[in-house]
A and B are shown apart, each in its own frame.
Chain A
Amino acid sequence: MSKKKNKPLVKRRAIREAVLHGLARRRRRDRLLRLAGIGAIVLGLSFLAVMLVSLVSLGKSAFWQTHIRLELTLDPARLDPQGNGSQASLAAGDYAGVIKQALRARFPEVRKRREKRELYRLVSSGAAWALRDQVVADPELLGQRRAFWLLADDEVDQWFKHGEAGGVRLSERQRHWLESLRAEGAIDTFFNWAFFRNGDSREPELAGIRGALAGSFYALLVTLALSLPLGVAAAIYLEEFAPRNRWTDFVEVNINNLAAVPSIVFGLLGLAVFLNFLDLPRSAPLVGGLVLTLMTLPTIIITGRAALKAVPPSIREAALGIGASRMQTVFHHVLPQALPGMLTGTIIGMAQALGETAPLLMIGMVAFIVDVPQGFTDPATVLPVQIYLWADSPERAFMERTAAAILVLLLFLVLMNLVAILLRRRFEKRW
């Protein structure tokens, strides 16, 4: 071999060595980047885990409620004042008196008036209403003497669930009575149906999320009914039909900006336009839905346009080339392709709206409302606002209810996202 031919070989070896030399450093960097990524994910997941664990540990006890068992004498003289057994007569009965009598009978040593009042406070005021409902539903119970599990007061509930740490406002005497009840097994926890059945209440043991759930449901219904057609129509127009000019650029920029506007501003807008100008009812899911529509519309338009953009232009060309009009092209070919993406965006927008608080505060959905709303114009509150309200309450029992309500909200959000994923899978699998 001539020297000339050997020369590049030497050079090549030098290059190879240089590459090998740098390889170790390159691999180190690769590893570092990978570790950094894994670290970030671990950190994020651990934050999520901490949040979930603390929420569950705090909120799980709210799903059980303490009850006290008492021997009640359902005296017809007290409970059926008119003596005819009619619904009206039964409803007017002195159930609280029956309960008080039973308590006095259980603890005969209590004589003083102050002590009696403390004794009566062991049972929730709601217990009398529950008893009344039971008797009205089943008048046969009149005259009987039997044991009933009665809803305990929230302080008793906390004491029973958390021991000495809970029920800080209980007196020594009350604790003593409760000990004796516990000793004979007359105090226990049951699943807290009231939490899902009741509206809000000043008494923690009576407070539930049904009102807030109904309010959220009605508000989201309004939001969906308005923002989906409007958003889809706007997205289609902007993406498929609008000419590119300064005017549509302006509209586009504004839609993008709208998505970034703080949500409370929408609340102010709602207050000014829907309440003050249009005179719509305060605290109503209708107005809440309108405000949430304003908020979710940009999200839906933006995701909808992205979904339309993702449809390959060759499909449009194919349809146009065969003589379809632009509208036929959009509705026969483009929209079906874009729909899963659009629906995903819509559901994510809805989830956002479900979790929104700030704009609703401005239109009075923050009021204390006991009744479960029956329609779009009834005063109502929504789940996140309910959480906000409870988090603000001083009673310890409201703390666990706050956590429980957050868990319910999270559950709904996860469900909605799940639906979004399933929808996308289902539609995209078609071809």
Chain B
Amino acid sequence: MAIGDRRALFQSVVETALAAGDTAQPEVVESALGTPFLERKVSLRARNVNVFYGEKQAIKDVSIDIGKRQVTAFIGPSGCGKSTFLRCFNRMNDTIEGCRVEGEILLDDEDIHAPEMDVVPLRARVGMVFQKPNPFPKSIYENIAYGPRLHGLAASRADLDELVENSLRRAGLWDEVKDRLDAPGTGLSGGQQQRLCIARAIAIHPEVILMDEPCSALDPIATARVEELIDELRERYTIIIVTHSMQQAARVSQRTAYFHMGRLVEVDKTERIFTNPAHELTEAYITGRFG
């Protein structure tokens, strides 16, 4: 089906729902794209995305809408392409040799893979948190201040101080580190390091935060804290999280997308994916009956 057709279909579904006075999201499952969104609630829109590593195709014709100010989880078995696809949203795949991305990904109707799009402002709008906590080998303060300084977000030292404090507060780390801002960021515990990385990402006021298995290196308590933080951040940011833990996806996300062998099998509200997924493969994966 052509993109235009599908979008038109969604539009009509949404309009019908609105006309009927139904302000809730309409319960219509439309193939892999899942429950359609109201237009104004879409933050990122991917259409027919293909990713190649040399000859090998890692992502096959994936189309998905990412809702604004909600958490979307990407789940799927190892090697299903979820991390690869996540990295398309801030063009981190550019750094990988031989990686080619086709199709369009729209952020506010701008194609982020367009040749005239510069990755630097893009990455200021789409932040990222990585699997392993990777603070810079600098002080806690410098870790947060680096991004704003890079993009010229703070006019004075006082501004910068305030920005650092706000970011750390929002990441729930301020009380733990306010007395040792000059201490090295690498000296924090794993969970604190990861929250520091989240604080660093939100210091440049992104619209979207990509998280690539942010808790895989953390213990359950640290994981819970990060999850709590994700839940709080949802009020301001669009969050996409790749996770190997289905429980985590169930806990933190509002929508869940299941990937399998480079294809998007199913995307829907999280509660639906975890109680009654539409696709057999999703069912097999989430219940642990994956061949």
Q: Given A333-B136, A430-B137, are A320 and B97 also a contact pair (CB < 8 Å)?
A: no
A6 to B92, CA, bound (A): 61
A333 to B185, CA, bound (A): 14
Please choose the segment from A124-132, A322-330, A346-354, A357-365 that sits at the chain B interface, where 4 or more of its residues have CB less than 8 A away.
A322-330
Mask for B25-66, Cβ within 8 A of A = 1, else 0? 000000000000000000000000000000000000000000
Interface: A21 (CB within 8 A) = no
Q: Which of B124, B130, B184 contacts A318 (CB 8 A)?
A: B130
Inter-subunit contact B137/A321 (CB<8 Å)? no
Within 8 A of B (CB), among A223-269: 243-244
Q: Which residues of B contact A56 (CB under 8 A)?
A: none
Distance between Cα atoms of A189 and B256 in the complex (Å): 91
Rounded to whole angstroms, the CA-CA distance of A430 and B185 in the bound complex is 12
B97, B123, B124, B132: the one contacting A243 at CB < 8 Å is: B97
**B143: nearest residue on chain A (CB-CB)?**
A318
Would you give the 0/1 interface string for B88-123, flagging 1 where the beta carbon is closer than 8 Å to chain A? 001010010100000000000000000000011111
Task: Select one of B121, B123, B184 contacting A322, CB under 8 A.
Answer: B123
A171 in the interface (beta carbon within 8 A): no
Determine the chain B residues whose CB is within 8 A of the CB of A244 once the complex forms.
Answer: 97
A243 proximity list for chain B (CB < 8 A): 97
A323 and B136 contact, Cβ closer than 8 Å, known pairs A318-B130, A318-B197: no
Query: How would you classify the secondary structure of chain B's contact residues: helix, strand, loop or mixed?
Result: helix
Nearest residue (CB) in A for B132 is A314
Size class of the contact patch on chain B:
20 to 34
A158 touches B (CB below 8 Å)? no
Cα of A234 to Cα of B134 in the assembled complex, Å? 27
B93 to chain A, nearest CB (A): 11
Q: Which residues of A contact B197 (CB under 8 A)?
A: 318
Given known A-B contacts A244-B97, A314-B130, A317-B92, A322 and B135 have beta carbons under 8 A apart:
no
| Chain A interface residue bracket vs B | 20 to 34
A431 lies within 8 A of chain B by Cβ: yes
**B151 / chain A contacts, CB cutoff of 8 Å:** 323
Contact A323 B120 (CB under 8 A): yes
Whether B92 and A320, one on each chain, are in contact in the complex, defined by CB atoms closer than 8 angstroms, is: yes
Q: Name the residue on A nearest B91 (C-beta).
A: A320
Asked whether A320 and B136 contact (CB < 8 A) given A244-B97, A314-B130, the answer is no
Chain A residues within an 8 Å CB radius of B184:
431
User: Restricting to B197-225, which residues have a CB under 8 Å from any CB of A?
Assistant: 197, 200-201, 204
Does A320 lie within 8 Å of B95, measured CB to CB? yes
Indicate whether A323 sits within 8 Å of B137 (C-beta atoms), given known contacts A244-B97, A431-B184, A431-B186: no
Instruction: Provide the B156-189 mask, 1 if CB < 8 A to any CB of A, else 0.
Output: 0000000000000000000000000000101100
Main secondary structure of the interface of A (DSSP, over half): helix
B121-163 vs A, Cβ < 8 Å mask (1 yes, 0 no): 1111001101010111110000000110011000000000000
Does B150 lie within 8 Å of A322, measured CB to CB?
yes
Residue interface bits A327-343, CB-to-B below 8 A is 1, else 0: 01000110001000000
Closest CB-CB distance, B200 to chain A, in whole Å?
6
A323 touches B135 (CB 8 A): no
Chain A residue contacts of B134, Cβ below 8 A: 312, 314-315, 317-318
Q: Is the CB of B186 within 8 A of A321?
A: no
Tell me whether A186 is interfacial, beta carbon within 8 Å.
no
State the CA gap A46–B123 with chains docked (Å).
60
Can you give 26 contacting A-B residue pairs, CB < 8 Å?
Answer: A243-B97, A314-B132, A316-B95, A317-B128, A317-B130, A317-B134, A318-B130, A318-B134, A318-B135, A318-B136, A319-B136, A320-B92, A321-B127, A322-B124, A322-B128, A322-B150, A322-B201, A323-B121, A323-B122, A323-B123, A323-B124, A323-B151, A323-B204, A325-B120, A333-B136, A430-B137
Binding site for B on A (CB under 8 A): 243-244, 312, 314-325, 328, 332-333, 337, 430-431
- B interface residues (Cβ-Cβ under 8 A, vs A): 90, 92, 95, 97, 119-124, 127-128, 130, 132, 134-138, 146-147, 150-151, 184, 186-187, 197, 200-201, 204
